[in-house]
Amino acid sequence: MANEEEQEGAQTRQGGSPASSGAAGGGQAAEGRAPVVAAATGHASFWPVVLAFAIAVVCFGLVTVPLVMALGALLIVVAAVGWGLERL
């Protein structure tokens, strides 16, 4: 029976809590106002899937041909750099 309307105005905890880290900042309920939805969603990124794919390619190369392994290794470097430089 969690009801958003009941929550508002009831518990007025101060903002700036640890619960907001990890996702885009902002969007917290301050003094019971409805949050700005847009900012509360996490930032999508394709580097995780690319890096995961790259590592799998390296493994695949180890059981097939070294060329595939080399391509995979290259992709790992690209993905790692991309991930590191990504602006969240």
Partner 1 sequence: MATRTVVERPALVRQKRFSETYLGQWITTTDHKKIGIMYMVTAFFFFVVGGLEALLIRTQLALPDGKVLDPETYNQIFTMHGTTMIFLFVMPMFTGLGNYVVPLMIGARDMAFPRLNAFGYWVVLFGGLFLQSSFLFGAAPNGGWFAYAPLTECGVQGVNCFPSTPAMNMDFWALGVLLLGVSSISGALNFVVTIFKLRAPGMTINRMPLFVWMTLVTSFLLLFALPSLTAAAGLLLLDRHLGTHFYQAAFNGDPVLWQHLFWSFGHPEVYILILPAFGIASEILPVFSRKPIFGYTFVAWSGVAIGFLSFTVWAHHMFAVGLPVVAQAFFATSTTLIAIPTAVKIFNWLATIYGGKLSFKTPMLFALGFVAMFLIGGLNGVALAIVPVDYQVTDSYFVIAHLHYVLFGGAVFAIFAAIFYWFPKMSGRMLNERLGQLQFWLMLIGVNVTFFPMHILGQLGMPRRIYTYAADVGWNELNLLETIGAFIIAVAVLVFMVNFVVSLRRGEVAGADPWDAFTLEWDTTSPPEPYNFKTLPVVRSRRPFYDKKNPETADWKVATH
Q: Nearer Cβ to partner 1, position 5 or 67? A: 5
Who contacts 28 (Cβ-Cβ below 8 Å, separation ≥6)?
15, 16, 17, 20, 35
Q: Nearer Cβ to partner 1, position 38 or 67? A: 38
Query: Minimum distance between the CB of residue 75 and partner 1, rounded to whole angstroms?
Result: 12
Residues contributing to the site for partner 1 (CB under 8 A): 1-4, 7-8, 10-11, 13, 17-23, 27-29, 32, 34-38, 40-49, 51-53, 55-56, 59-60, 62-63, 83
Query: Minimum distance between the CB of residue 79 and partner 1, rounded to whole angstroms?
Result: 9
Q: Nearer Cβ to partner 1, position 42 or 67? A: 42
Residue 87 region by backbone torsions, left for phi larger than 0, else alpha for psi between -120 and 50, else beta? beta
**H or E, element range at 87:** none
